[in-house]
Structure 1
Amino acid sequence: MSARQAIRRIPVAMAAVLMAIGVIGFVVALILNVFVLDRYDAYGEVPIPGVGTVHLPAGEVTVNLHTRVISSPSGGGLPVPPISVAVTPPTGVPEPEFQESIGMTTTVNNDSRRRLWRVRVAEAGDYQITTDGEVGAYIAPRLAFGKPSGHWAFVWVFPAVFVLGLLDLFAARLFRARRGSPMGAAIGPETDLNEDRFIPQGEGIRIEQLKTITALRDSGALTEKEFAEEKRRILRGH
């Protein structure tokens, strides 16, 4: 491969690298956010039914259904049974604001969880949690109060990188098409024989032979008659 051909391949290679980074990075970032950075039970858990005290910080808190399963849930994920929860805040503190926010199911080693609510806590403190629900079909069900991952915005950087690579690939192919050949070389009537381009092996040999006899004629080593005979022989392929 010549240097010029190698340079022409750089945009396509860069596009392939960007697209690979986008796909791999998105998968890795998604896994990290779901299994590592999303601390679904950071502040504590309360059994269902049951009563417990959990220290909650001010700000957003997630509430997740946490249970054991025999096999990984399929279809719509972990079914959500009717669950009620009552929160008694510290004296003088407003009650937390619940907002329904059903999330996807995450299962690791038969340990399954699914987000049910996002809660806005006005002030940090010890909150008494009372739970109840129709959870007879679940193994050790409980509500887990946790910390949402703050890195979801980072996940979407990688789809942007993938799209950038896709645009780069499209631009490279468009440029090649405009140049008029699959490899982007401008091959036409005005193309110099010495230009770096692909030439069939037999044709290349004949061109080199014609150059040689031309040089011999110009130097006086061949007469015009001898030059003409050699040229006819070369063009006939002998």
Structure 2
Amino acid sequence: MSARVASRVAVTVAVITLVLSTVGFVLTLVLSAFVFDEFDAYGEVPIPGTGTVELPAGEVTVSFHTVVTGQPTSGFPIPQISVSIEPPSGVADPVVTESVGGTTTVNSDTRVRVWVVDVAEAGEYQVSTDGDVGGYITPRLAFGHGSSYGWLLWVCGALIAVGVVELVAALLWSARVNKAARPLAPHEVMTLDNPPPLSAVPTISAGRPPSDQGIRLEQLRQLAALRDSGALTEDEFQAEKRRILRG
């Protein structure tokens, strides 16, 4: 495989890698938000109201969940709400940290992450909620977790970076190969044994017979052309020049 063909193959492979990894990143991002994200995996509590949720040890997300009549924007207004989480007897209080996330809407069902809770031990937790939610339809707090496929985003992101590096390297290689001097084909090399075609040699006017001096000048011009094309070395040019001048 020639260098030129190999460089084109490298560019094509880099472009395919970049396109597929970008599509995979976007697809994983969409699925994580609308399919893989189990925001209500551990249950929901109405606002205002009380309820019991079974929480595992570790990080738990708390999302404001409601129904909308239109398509909300990223600036979806979160009402003033509060939550109180009582642990089982003898268990440390969970640590609640504000962590407002993006708005996700599926078929008028809207949710926004509001808090992240660090649960010390698994068990049943008593939850009390309150807030000014008069303008919202069926408002509630949902307890769950994020997508378990978040590692796919890192994989796709790494592939995108690899694709960009490959593409830059392949383009530089292709440009270097295209700029390289193209070797002459055998039929393009001019030597004394393989003179240029007659059409390339300037013709002498047929109006009058050429003089000896005119013939020598024409031969010298042809020799200079052969030397400039690389068909003759400087020593060969000088030797032929002396021969012509001697007649």
Structure 2 residue 52 is matched with structure 1 residue 48: no
Q: Secondary structure at the match of 1:136?
A: coil
Identity between Structure 1 and Structure 2 (%): 47
Residue 154 of structure 1 aligns to which amino acid in structure 2?
L
Question: For 2:26 and 2:177, how far apart are their aligned partners in 1?
Answer: 37
TM superposition score normalised by structure 2: 0.73
Give the deviation of 1:131 after TM superposition. 0.5
What is the correspondence of 1:3-22 to structure 2 with a 5 Å cutoff?
5-22=4-21
Give the deviation of 1:93 after TM superposition. 1.4
Question: For 1:31 and 1:233, how far apart are their aligned partners in 2?
Answer: 69
Question: For 2:58 and 2:90, how far apart are their aligned partners in 1?
Answer: 17
Q: Secondary structure at the match of 1:156?
A: helix
Give the deviation of 1:75 after TM superposition. 4.2
Alpha carbons of 1:235 and 1:100: their partners in 2 closer, same or farther (altered >3 Å)? Answer: farther
Q: Deviations over 1:127-148 (max 9, x none)?
A: 1111000111111000000022
Greater gyration radius: 2
Q: Higher mean Cα deviation, 129-138 or 89-98?
A: 89-98
Give the deviation of 1:63 after TM superposition. 0.3
Residue 192 of structure 1 aligns to which amino acid in structure 2?
L
Q: Deviations over 1:181-205 (max 9, x none)?
A: 2xxxx225xx2315xxxxxxxxxxx
Question: For 2:105 and 2:157, how far apart are their aligned partners in 1?
Answer: 25
Which residue of 2 is the match for residue 175 of structure 1? 173
Q: Secondary structure at the match of 1:92?
A: coil
Give the deviation of 1:233 after TM superposition. 4.0
Which residue of 2 is the match for residue 37 of structure 1? 36
Alpha carbons of 1:53 and 1:83: their partners in 2 closer, same or farther (altered >3 Å)? Answer: same
Residue pair 2:8, 2:174 contacting (<8 A) in 1 also: no
Question: For 1:235 and 1:84, how far apart are their aligned partners in 2?
Answer: 97
Q: Higher mean Cα deviation, 169-178 or 80-89?
A: 169-178
Alpha carbons of 1:41 and 1:75: their partners in 2 closer, same or farther (altered >3 Å)? Answer: closer
Q: Any runs of at least 4 consecutive aligned residues in structure 1 with deviations exceeding 6 A, and if so which?
A: none
Which residue of 2 is the match for residue 198 of structure 1? none
RMSD: 2.5
Question: For 2:70 and 2:14, how far apart are their aligned partners in 1?
Answer: 41
Residue 112 of structure 2 aligns to which amino acid in structure 1?
R
Tell me the matched-pair count.
Answer: 201
Which residue of 1 is the match for residue 197 of structure 2? 231
TM superposition score normalised by structure 1: 0.76
Alpha carbons of 1:138 and 1:193: their partners in 2 closer, same or farther (altered >3 Å)? Answer: same
Q: Secondary structure at the match of 2:197?
A: helix
Give the deviation of 1:149 after TM superposition. 2.1
Unaligned runs of 5+ in 1: 195-206, 219-226
